[in-house]
Structure formats: C-alpha cells, structure tokens
Amino acid sequence: MAPSPQANSIAVSIEYFATLREHVGRPREELRTTASTVGELYAELDRRYAFPALGRVKVAVNDEFRDWSSPVRDGDFVVFIPPVAGG
Amino acid sequence: MSHFEFSREPFTPERYRSRVADPVAGGYASFEGWVRNHNEGRGVQRLEYEGYEALGVKEGDRIVAEAFARFPIAKACCVHRLGVLDIGDLAVWVGVTAAHRDAAFAACRYIIDEVKTRVPIWKKEHYAEGDSGWINCEVRSADAPAGSALP
C-alpha cells in the first residue's frame, strides 16, 4: 500500500490573536502539516484562510520569538503575531 | 517577582507604586497611558486590548532588564491592562525609581516606548459610528500583502 501523503506530517498547535483570530473564526487549532519551517506553515495557512493584509507579521514558537526560517517540529505551539499596538 | 504584568481588571498606580520603593531612590518617575476619545480624526468610544500573555510577560521583562542595563535605576515595573476599557481608563502604567531623576525619566521613557512596539498586545478601537478596527493591522490595498512580510 502506498504511504499516506501525510505520512511525514507533524502535529502542531496554533493560537490566533486579534485580527487573525477574528478572520479564522477561532482562537486555537490543532493541525497536521508537512511544513518544515514556520514560514512554510504560515504560507500553508495563508492559502487556506487567505489572511488579510497585515503589514509585518512576526512569529513565536513555544512562547519565544523566532525567525521565519526556524524549523517547526512535532508538538510545537506556534503563534503568528500581527503588528502590535500596546500602550 | 516579574517586572512586567498584565491586569484584566482596572487598577490604580497606587497598587503598584510600593513595588518600586527603594531606600536609595531620590526620584520616582511614572507614566500613565489613558484611553483617549479620538484617534486619527475619528471619535473613539471604547477600546479592547488583547494580549499574548505568555510571550508578553517575557518580552516585557526583557525590556525592563534592558532599562536596568542602560540606566542607573533602582526599581522598575510596568503593568498593562487587557480587556474592554472606557475613555479615561488607565491602559498602561510604568514606574521607575532611581537615585537621581535623569535616570528615572529616561528609563521610564525607554520602557513605555519599547513596550508599545515589542510586547504582543493588540488594540481594537470601537468608533462613534459603530464600526471598529485593530490598530496597526489595517493595511490599505496599496500596501503590501501579508505574505510579503516573509523572507
């Protein structure tokens, strides 16, 4: 039997905030992905959800800021960070 | 104790002021950010702050640590509100003490400036006309799409 196309996939948790949360329609999701970097994961989700234009988005993995080229691993918790506006 | 925290409830600066008390301090500088009733020509009725708290506390603590490295200060603390706020409500408070006022003023300014640009907090304004918008997240069609933010 041919291997499933998802055979090499990993499980990740995503949390959405602010405009992304409203756009996606939920605060969290668990999903399987074959993305190898957080940039690839963002591109995959952008294809699925057609994220709104946001300016410069940052990314955090397991509650730390990371580069877009950072690897995404099984069990990672990923948050995409739209432009912030504290104060 | 963390030097940066979020508060889901209204708070007064007096509640946190004692945290920056120090026998060596000869000066105390503070900043209060309040909710104003207008932004970019539009009437604002209330605000919502949303925060990524786990990362926000870490980044806020890093900012205060940077202030300690840059300025000769005694104590420093920052508290940011989350949730729904009305006009005039306290949104953020920074308190810094130092032996001398120059360092206290400079560190207070450094902390609030960095918090506004680095801590993952988002602000939604609710306008007098009934609509609302996430500040800094609304990109006009002439601007680049989100994907272009990636390398």
> pLDDT by residue (tens digit) across A37-58?
999 999 999 999 999 998 899 9
Structural domains of chain A, ranges and CATH numbers in brackets: 10-81 (3.10.20.30)
Across the interface, whether the CB atoms of B92 and A39 are under 8 A apart is answered: no
The separation between CA B15 and the C-alpha centre of its own chain, rounded to angstroms, equals 17
Flag if B55 and A63 touch (Cβ within 8 Å). Answer: yes
Whether residue B141 is contained in a domain is answered as: no
Mean pLDDT throughout A60-67?
A: 98
Number of CB atoms found within 10 A of residue A83's CB:
20
Residue of B72, B77, B76 whose CA lies nearest to B99: B72
Among the partner residues A17, A64, A86, nearest to B119 by beta-carbon distance: A86
Comparing alpha-carbon positions, the chain A residue that sits nearest to B50 is: A18
Q: Is residue B37 part of a domain?
A: yes
Residue by residue, pLDDT tens for chain B (151 residues) are 689 999 999 999 999 999 999 999 999 999 999 999 999 999 999 999 999 999 999 999 999 999 999 999 999 999 999 999 999 999 999 999 999 999 999 999 999 999 999 999 999 999 999 999 999 987 654 444 444 445 4
Note the pLDDT of residue A4: 58
Quick check: is B149 in a domain? no
Q: Report residue B9 CA to chain centroid gap.
A: 15
Q: Which pLDDT belongs to residue A3?
A: 54
- What local confidence, expressed as pLDDT, does residue B1 receive? 63
CB contact under 8 A, A86 and B136: no
How far is the CA of A4 from the CAs of A9, A34, A40, in angstroms? 10, 12, 20
Inter-residue contact A13 to A79 (CB < 8 Å)? no
Range of the domain at B21: 4-129
The identity of residue B75, as a single letter, is K
Angle between helices B53-70 and B101-118 (to 10 degrees): 150
- Collapsed DSSP state (helix, strand, coil) of residue B95: strand
Give the CA dihedral B104, B107, B113, B115, nearest 10 degrees. Answer: -110
Structure tokens at B143: 């601007």
Give me the amino acid identity at A64. E
CATH number at residue B18: 3.90.1170.40
Residues of B with CB below 8 A from A54's CB?
137, 139, 146, 149
Contact B55 A53 (CB under 8 A): no
Q: How far B19 CA lies from chain A's nearest CA (Å)?
A: 20
Residue A74 banded pLDDT, cuts 50, 70, 90: very high
Number of domains, chain B: 1
- Does residue B148 belong to any structural domain of this protein? no
Is the Cβ of B34 closer than 8 Å to some Cβ of chain A? Answer: no
Specify the pLDDT at position B65: 98
User: Position of tokens 């409830």?
Assistant: B9
Whether B43 is in a domain gets the answer yes
Say whether residue B52 is in contact with chain A using an 8 A CB cutoff.
yes
Predicted local confidence at residue A2, as pLDDT: 53
Burial of B115 (0-12, 13-18, 19+ CB in 10 A): buried
Residue with tokens 């120090």: B22
**A-chain residues near B52 (CB < 8 A):** 15, 17, 60, 79, 81
DSSP string across A3-68: PPTTTT-EEEEEE--HHHHHHHTSSEEEEEE--SBHHHHHHHHHHHH-PPP-SS-EEEETTEEE-T
**Per-residue pLDDT for A5 more than 70?**
no
CB B42 within 8 A of CB B117: no
Contact B137 A46 (CB under 8 A): no
Name the DSSP letter for residue A53. P
Indicate yes or no: CB of B151 within 8 angstroms of CB of A81.
no
Residues of B in contact with A51 (CB under 8 A): 146
Any domain includes B144: no
